[in-house]
Structure 1
Amino acid sequence: MNDEPNDQVNFPRYAGSILAWLDRADPGAHRRIKGLRLVTAYGLAAALGALQDVTRDVPAGVSVGSLAAAFALWASVSEARAPRAESSRDLAVLCVAAALGACSFALLAPLFREAGRGGAEFVLVSGAFCVGYLKRFGVTGAGIGSQLYIGQLVAYSMKLAPMDAWAIALALLISMIAAIVPRMLSGPAERPVVLPALASEPAYARRAVSPAFAMGLQAASGALVVALLNAIFALAESAWAVTACVYVVATSAVGTAERVRRRIYGTLVGVPVGLACLPLAEHAPLLVWAMAAGAMIVYAMALPDRYDIACGAFAFALIVTLAASGVHSIPLLAARAWETLLGGALGLVSARLVFPLRLVR
């Protein structure tokens, strides 16, 4: 008679089921490798940025580690080349783009803040336009546009000013090291990513409008509406509404509607699960960070084909990492959820009204 507990007997079966699911979702382990690279780049940048000898000349109010980690993480997400040399080149370019975005916000935000409440959000409109418009230059262009906006977003969240230029430059150097080293070690096992085809140039009033220009206007229009709403009603997390609006805009109005639907599904699942794990953030922060790392690996695996799962995984990772960093206000964390839904809805409206693009098969 076997006296072993059932959980010990069934553990190999559970492990086998998990591995089988991973093989179905990611045959060849290509995306898992990329997910591990994202986590490694983020952790390496955060660790280097936390060294006192590295950041001793940086103002006390600026976290170089967090800034560099954001640059390296999202550069690794946007990079999509197969050869190591091309990947390393693109990672360096993408980190520079993020630093330029942060510098642009640090320089322009003080001018817009003089316009009144919520003025700084208007700077994000320029980054929103770049996310859509630069897709005309392929994978690298799309990544550069995304990094310009990410740099602005991080600078917005950290309230960077012109005096923080040295911190941005230092974060740039750290992020390049943190992003390139894991890519060099991952080898040629990763596959390139192909962007969806852009729509043909639609004619409006006898004038051809570039699809990339239309996408840029759609993203910028939604971001501008969010900035105006924030100036009027003082939204708690307006930047997340802008972000949702920017990244749901696809190469067609139908594609945008599909991305909005999937983002809503993912957010409605990921945020409640993250909120349910808030007690762990106080009593087991190491476990929370491990769960967040696992969620980012799932994010990398699901992003090309299952945008809903990717959004859910990222929403979960965002909530638990904020909680582990000391943010425990449930209304504030929940605001990131409903304002994300608001931004998605505005992105859908923009895609339907501002130079709508038809689907290309």
Structure 2
Amino acid sequence: MSIRTTGVGGGQKRAKWRPFSKAATLLVAWLERVDPGTHRRIKGLRLVTAYGIAAMLGAVLEPHQAGIGGALSSLAGGFALWASVSEGQATRAASSRDLLILCAAAAVGAVSMIGIGAMLGLGAWLRPEAALITGAFLVGYLKRFGTLGAGVGSQIYIGQLLAYCAALHLADIATAVLAGVIAAVAAIVPRVLSGPAERPVSLPISGPLELVSPAQGSRELRMGLQAALAAFIIVLLSALFHLEESAWAITACTYVIGASAADTLDRVRRRILGTLVGVPLGLMLMPVAAHASLALWLAAALAMVVYAMALPERYDVACGAYAFTLMVMLTATGERSTQLLAARAWETLLGGAIGLTAAVLVLPLRPQRKTST
């Protein structure tokens, strides 16, 4: 009798844990399908590590000057995180070189934002976010110089965006430069330790960007012009209707511009889907923010690992993971205004729509591959 009872109890315990075991099996199968060999997972962990090291070093070295707040920590963390995303070399030496260049580009972007913002503040009717137009152009145009060029353009824009969000002034130029130095150290150390466990990023499936014709200029130039025009339209709308989070709309229109109008349409669709899923999931965690801040940071870290895994091939999943991370981090840092978070969400969608319109109507691009002669 005792043996039979034990057997029944054991069967009940196995039945109790069976759903969890099945879920774990499905999760492992999905990970292997999306990321065979664990290379992207390792890169995702590196992104989180670089951000954490940079943010902590920034907090330790924070000068605590008037008007600075936590700018050094947030700048350094952002520089290191997105430099690690853009870097795609195979060796430690090449990766370290690119990470140094990318972090320097982010610092240059932040300094340019401070300078242009100061000039725009001298009585001009344009708001300071108009400086982001230059970064939006470089995101598209510098893709003509390959993976590193695309990363440099993106880092310049990110540096501008972070400096704008931190409301930096001329007196804060040293803070931006120091953030670049901290970010370079924080990004290079995890890459050196990860070593051969990572592989370089693959080339875009659509093939290299090419010249449409000598008279029309390069495809990358047209992409830059499309992004800059879309950003300019958002700046005008912000001046007329006082958009609360126009910088997020500019960011959306900048990064949805693809190598063709069809590619842009696909990216906009995927970005909208990701945003519509990621933002509500992040907002659902707001009630526990005051009681489980550590859990929120862990959830954000896990979402960034998913972002790194999905980015090359599943832009919708990557956008959803990033939108979730953004909402969680804003909540964890004390920003819990539902109105502000909603404004960032809908203005992101607005920016994507304006970017798509610019890609379709202004110097539209068609998919084009080189043909053998």
Q: Distance in 1 between matches of 2:227 and 2:240?
A: 20
SS in 2 for 1:50: helix
Contact 2:300 2:325 in 1 (8 A): yes
Which residue of 1 is the match for residue 52 of structure 2? 43
Question: Which residues in structure 2 correspond to 1:81-96 (within 5 Å)?
Answer: 81-96=89-104
Which residue of 1 is the match for residue 182 of structure 2? 174
Q: Distance in 1 between matches of 2:327 and 2:267?
A: 21
Which residue of 1 is the match for residue 198 of structure 2? 190
Which residue of 2 is the match for residue 354 of structure 1? 362
Matched to 1:197, the amino acid is G
1:252 Cα deviation from its structure 2 partner:
0.8
Which residue of 1 is the match for residue 20 of structure 2? 11
Change in Cα spacing, 1:324 to 1:202, as seen in structure 2 (3 Å) is same
2:211 corresponds to which of 201, 208, 218: 201
2:149 corresponds to which of 141, 144, 149: 141
Question: Which residues in structure 2 correspond to 1:15-164 (within 5 Å)?
Answer: 15-51=24-60, 54-56=61-63, 58-59=65-66, 61-63=68-70, 64-115=72-123, 119-164=127-172
Contact 1:83 1:188 in 2 (8 A): yes
Question: Which residues in structure 2 correspond to 1:274-313 (within 5 Å)?
Answer: 274-313=282-321
Change in Cα spacing, 1:198 to 1:215, as seen in structure 2 (3 Å) is farther
Q: Distance in 2 between matches of 1:20 and 1:28?
A: 12
Q: 1:239-263 deviations in whole A, cap 9, x for unaligned?
A: 0000000000011111011000100
Q: 1:40-68 deviations in whole A, cap 9, x for unaligned?
A: 000111111111xx233755524211110
Matched to 2:224, the amino acid is G
Q: 1:271-296 deviations in whole A, cap 9, x for unaligned?
A: 11111111121221110110000100
Q: 1:186-209 deviations in whole A, cap 9, x for unaligned?
A: 111222222443454335xx9232
1:115 Cα deviation from its structure 2 partner:
4.0
1:233 corresponds to which of 233, 236, 241: 241
Contact 2:68 2:168 in 1 (8 A): no
Which residue of 1 is the match for residue 223 of structure 2? 215
Q: How many residues align?
A: 357
1:319 corresponds to which of 302, 309, 327: 327
Q: Distance in 1 between matches of 2:67 and 2:240?
A: 33
Q: Which runs of 5+ in 1 are unaligned?
A: none
Q: Distance in 2 between matches of 1:143 and 1:185?
A: 22
Q: Distance in 2 between matches of 1:116 and 1:273?
A: 40
1:265 corresponds to which of 249, 253, 273: 273
Q: Distance in 1 between matches of 2:289 and 2:126?
A: 31
Q: Distance in 2 between matches of 1:117 and 1:234?
A: 13
SS in 2 for 1:202: strand
Contact 2:92 2:195 in 1 (8 A): yes
Q: Distance in 2 between matches of 1:352 and 1:98?
A: 30
When normalised by structure 2's length, the TM-score is 0.92
Q: Distance in 2 between matches of 1:219 and 1:28?
A: 36
The yes-or-no answer on 1:332 pairing with 2:340 is yes
1:118 Cα deviation from its structure 2 partner:
5.2
Change in Cα spacing, 1:296 to 1:110, as seen in structure 2 (3 Å) is same
Q: Distance in 2 between matches of 1:290 and 1:73?
A: 16
Matched to 1:47, the amino acid is M
Q: Distance in 2 between matches of 1:237 and 1:187?
A: 39
Change in Cα spacing, 1:7 to 1:110, as seen in structure 2 (3 Å) is farther
Contact 2:129 2:235 in 1 (8 A): yes
1:148 Cα deviation from its structure 2 partner:
0.2
Q: Distance in 2 between matches of 1:269 and 1:42?
A: 24
Q: Distance in 2 between matches of 1:197 and 1:113?
A: 42
Change in Cα spacing, 1:353 to 1:198, as seen in structure 2 (3 Å) is farther
Q: Distance in 1 between matches of 2:91 and 2:318?
A: 25
Matched to 1:106, the amino acid is I
Q: Distance in 2 between matches of 1:329 and 1:159?
A: 19
Q: Distance in 1 between matches of 2:175 and 2:14?
A: 54
Change in Cα spacing, 1:19 to 1:112, as seen in structure 2 (3 Å) is same
Q: Distance in 2 between matches of 1:72 and 1:58?
A: 23
Change in Cα spacing, 1:207 to 1:34, as seen in structure 2 (3 Å) is same
Return the index of the structure with the highest Cα Rg: 2
What is the RMSD of the two structures over their aligned residues, measured on CA atoms?
1.6
